[in-house]
Structure 1
Amino acid sequence: MSDDSTQFSGTMEVRERLKFDVAALESYLKKNIVGFKGPLDVAQFKGGQSNPSYMLTTPDRRYVLRRKPPGKLLPSAHAVDREYRVMTALARTDVPVPKTYCLCEDEDVIGTMFYVMEFMNGDIEWDPSLPGYSKANRVAVFDSMNAAMAALHMVDYKAVGLESFGKPTDYLARQINRWTKQYKASETETIEAMDNLMAWLPDNIPPGDETAIVHGDYRLDNTVLNKESHRVMAILDWELATLGHPLADFSYHCMTWRLEPELFRGLNGLDLPALGIPTEEQYVQAYCERTGRDGIENWDFYAAYNMFRLAAILQGIVGRVKDGTASNKNAADVAVRVKPLAIRGWEQAEKIIKGV
């Protein structure tokens, strides 16, 4: 799959199987969003592999609608109601999120549950090397991504009303179990490295437990950058958010430094100082300073875990392509990435096993 951002950025005509009754939606929004006025025009965003997203345009303003896809879905997946809840709660914090307007759980309106939030008129970049950006602007992007994630993990989840947003303990064990089940439910071929990881990970979870609000899929293309300051103005795609271990969340984000551009929009192999992009070590240190840590132990375990987790997420997309429920027309191409990610994850695990 090419990582040309033109495949993912902007909007297109709504795909046939994802169309709905626009008049019914307009009627609902007039009743549930203060100041909403039609006529309403609907287009589909090109990006997004899980929950279809739509641009809603009216004469006065633009909104974004996120919905569950139609069809057979994996258990606990596509939780748009959880996205809405966490963004609404974080609006009262320093974490940059879009304003939320309404959540509709009545499937009779457009066929599935959905919510509406504000449209953030910034830039969404898919290539972390940020071609076309100046060195100084790349510094701003990465510094603000780091600051936004640190701010999220420092939020008092009880104080913002998210005490029941997830279980406060054993996050890694539960995640490994969850993604093992979802991987097996979507499995299309036997991958030895993935089988090895599913057997090894549960018995090798590092000691110590922490609880914070975790995003679950924090990376550059799930942020909106201010067009002038080039800093993060909003974090998007909160579908996998829950209460969990902040280091599991942060280390997932840091896989960008361990993956090659062609494998999954990574930075591995690039001349980072020349680009103005911090090294993995520098980025980790900045996060530690912002969150009051002396450092991070068991980094290779977190890397192995997240390679496994990403492989399972991508395999879920492969399964949805097979079932005809994937929302991104390029989703079929992710199948070729599952096995390399699993192999890379098992290589990280073997480093621990061999004591390297």
Structure 2
Amino acid sequence: MSERVEIDGYDVEAVEAWIRDNTQGLEPPFEWVQLEGGHSNLTYALTDLKGNRAVVRRPPMGELLPKAHDMGREFSIISGLGPTAVPVPIAYGYCESPEVTGAHFYVMSQVDGKALFELEDSLDYLTEDARANVGLSFMDVLASLHSVDPDDVGLGDLGKKEDYVGRQIKTWYRSWEASAEGASYDDPDLHELHDFLQSRRPDQGPARVVHGDYGLHNCLLSEEGLLTAVLDWEISTLGDPMADFAYALNTWAEPGDKLVNKENAPTLADGFSDRSELIERYAAKTGCDLTDLPYYISFNHFKTACIVHGVYARYMQGQKSSEGVDLDYYRTRIGVSIELSKQAAAELA
């Protein structure tokens, strides 16, 4: 570790000096190793000469949207949830000043475990017996998150507490309408879903911290199939826990699904629980009323269709390079999401 290397987005010497002066138990110089995932944030594992480990995380390079990649927000969330039953990394320190390395950043503990992105990750990392543990642990952690009163952990101001789903529908429908011309793609079913979802919104219960992207790609798992940490809290806010729960279910593909948003999802491997087991576990842990669950499943598929539609439009307009990109995949995924949303909505008719 005596040889200094250049790290994109980081002034290594300045960041190491800040960590030395503002955290405990870490002694630079560090070995820097970039970590996968992380929503394009520049995330590195750090190891000092004594083997002490940490993770440093900052926004990506270039011009960013005003509220995107808020490292201070992430740091506040893992700090607040640290004393709870939700497994999160330990928050070591947050540097608000961009003078150190050109952007704000934070430092947290490095947690052992592996995230699952693809089917191959499950096959390579987990035995079939271990896969049987994942779904229950996945739901237990989500239930723990939704049992936390945000006011009790200093997160009561994380976002608006009322009408989470209604606000989300308005936001993503506006996105669809703004992208329709650029995408050269509109669908009357999407508009009908919008009207249905707005008219049938269930009453929201007490607001809870919602992760917003809770899936195995944002969780670390032990080799025994137990969650060791939940990561990537940057879009977390306060809202309806049932929406968070339904989103997690929508990420959980199972063998036999006729329509899937991801063909090689990690949960397609043998041994994983099916969605009915996840629903039973979450309901048992939270005591939630499942009457409106199809609504929330429909809402999340609607939202996914709008998000993917926006990405597709940027490719079609040349705002993102489409070199090597399968544009048909995005168009197909939009259609699949709309169809899945319609199927769930039909259960409420």
TM-score over 0.5 for the pair: yes
Matches within 5 A, 1:134-153: 134-153=127-146
Of the candidates 20, 23, 27, which is equivalent to residue 30 of structure 1?
A: 20
Task: Give the root-mean-square deviation of aligned CA atoms.
Answer: 3.3
Contact 1:63 1:116 in 2 (8 A): yes
CA displacement at 1:179 relative to structure 2: 3.4
3-state SS of paired residue (1:63): strand
3-state SS of paired residue (2:150): coil
Residues 54-105 of structure 1, C-alpha deviation per residue, up to 9 Å, x if partnerless?
1222213221112112222234221221111111111110111110111111
Q: Work out the CA distance in 1 between the residues paired with 2:73 and 2:314.
A: 21
Q: Work out the CA distance in 2 between the residues paired with 1:110 and 1:162.
A: 28
> Which residue of the partner structure matches residue 333 of structure 2?
341
- Per mean C-alpha deviation after superposition, the further-off stretch among 41-50 and 152-161 is 41-50
Letter of the 1:52 partner, please give it. L
Contact 1:318 1:332 in 2 (8 A): no
Letter of the 1:213 partner, please give it. V
Letter of the 2:279 partner, please give it. V
Of the candidates 35, 41, 50, which is equivalent to residue 45 of structure 1?
A: 35
Q: Work out the CA distance in 1 between the residues paired with 2:90 and 2:272.
A: 30
- Report the CA distance shift for 1:53/1:336 in structure 2 as closer, same or farther (over 3 A): farther
Using the size of structure 1 for normalisation, the TM-score is 0.81
Letter of the 2:43 partner, please give it. S
Of the candidates 343, 347, 350, which is equivalent to residue 342 of structure 2?
A: 350
CA displacement at 1:265 relative to structure 2: 2.3
Q: Share of identical aligned residues, percent?
A: 31
- Report the CA distance shift for 1:101/1:247 in structure 2 as closer, same or farther (over 3 A): same
Q: Work out the CA distance in 1 between the residues paired with 2:204 and 2:85.
A: 24
Using the size of structure 2 for normalisation, the TM-score is 0.82
- Structure 2 residue runs without a partner (length 5+): none
Matches within 5 A, 1:164-179: 164-179=157-172
Bigger Rg, which one? 2
> Which residue of the partner structure matches residue 265 of structure 1?
265
Matches within 5 A, 1:276-291: 276-291=271-286
3-state SS of paired residue (1:55): strand
Q: Work out the CA distance in 1 between the residues paired with 2:291 and 2:42.
A: 38
Residues 271-305 of structure 1, C-alpha deviation per residue, up to 9 Å, x if partnerless?
x7xx2322212211111011012x42233332232
Of the candidates 301, 305, 313, which is equivalent to residue 299 of structure 2?
A: 305
CA displacement at 1:243 relative to structure 2: 0.7
Contact 1:251 1:302 in 2 (8 A): yes
- Alignment of 1:224 with 2:224, yes or no, is no
CA displacement at 1:24 relative to structure 2: 1.2
> Which residue of the partner structure matches residue 55 of structure 1?
45
- Alignment of 1:99 with 2:93, yes or no, is no
CA displacement at 1:233 relative to structure 2: 0.8
Q: Work out the CA distance in 1 between the residues paired with 2:139 and 2:323.
A: 28
> Which residue of the partner structure matches residue 120 of structure 1?
111
Q: Work out the CA distance in 2 between the residues paired with 1:158 and 1:343.
A: 40
Q: Work out the CA distance in 2 between the residues paired with 1:160 and 1:190.
A: 46
- Report the CA distance shift for 1:51/1:308 in structure 2 as closer, same or farther (over 3 A): farther
Q: Work out the CA distance in 1 between the residues paired with 2:163 and 2:313.
A: 28
- Per mean C-alpha deviation after superposition, the further-off stretch among 216-225 and 74-83 is 74-83
Contact 2:9 2:42 in 1 (8 A): no
Letter of the 1:41 partner, please give it. E
> Which residue of the partner structure matches residue 3 of structure 1?
none
3-state SS of paired residue (1:192): coil
CA displacement at 1:266 relative to structure 2: 6.3
Contact 2:112 2:228 in 1 (8 A): no
Residues 141-168 of structure 1, C-alpha deviation per residue, up to 9 Å, x if partnerless?
1111110011101112111111111111
- Report the CA distance shift for 1:318/1:101 in structure 2 as closer, same or farther (over 3 A): farther
- Per mean C-alpha deviation after superposition, the further-off stretch among 187-196 and 43-52 is 187-196
CA displacement at 1:260 relative to structure 2: 3.1
Contact 2:243 2:300 in 1 (8 A): yes
Letter of the 2:67 partner, please give it. S
- Structure 1 residue runs without a partner (length 5+): 1-13
Q: Work out the CA distance in 1 between the residues paired with 2:148 and 2:203.
A: 20
> Which residue of the partner structure matches residue 232 of structure 2?
237
CA displacement at 1:22 relative to structure 2: 0.7
> Which residue of the partner structure matches residue 158 of structure 1?
151
- Report the CA distance shift for 1:72/1:190 in structure 2 as closer, same or farther (over 3 A): farther
Letter of the 1:28 partner, please give it. W
Q: Work out the CA distance in 2 between the residues paired with 1:93 and 1:232.
A: 15
Q: Work out the CA distance in 1 between the residues paired with 2:311 and 2:92.
A: 29
3-state SS of paired residue (1:131): helix
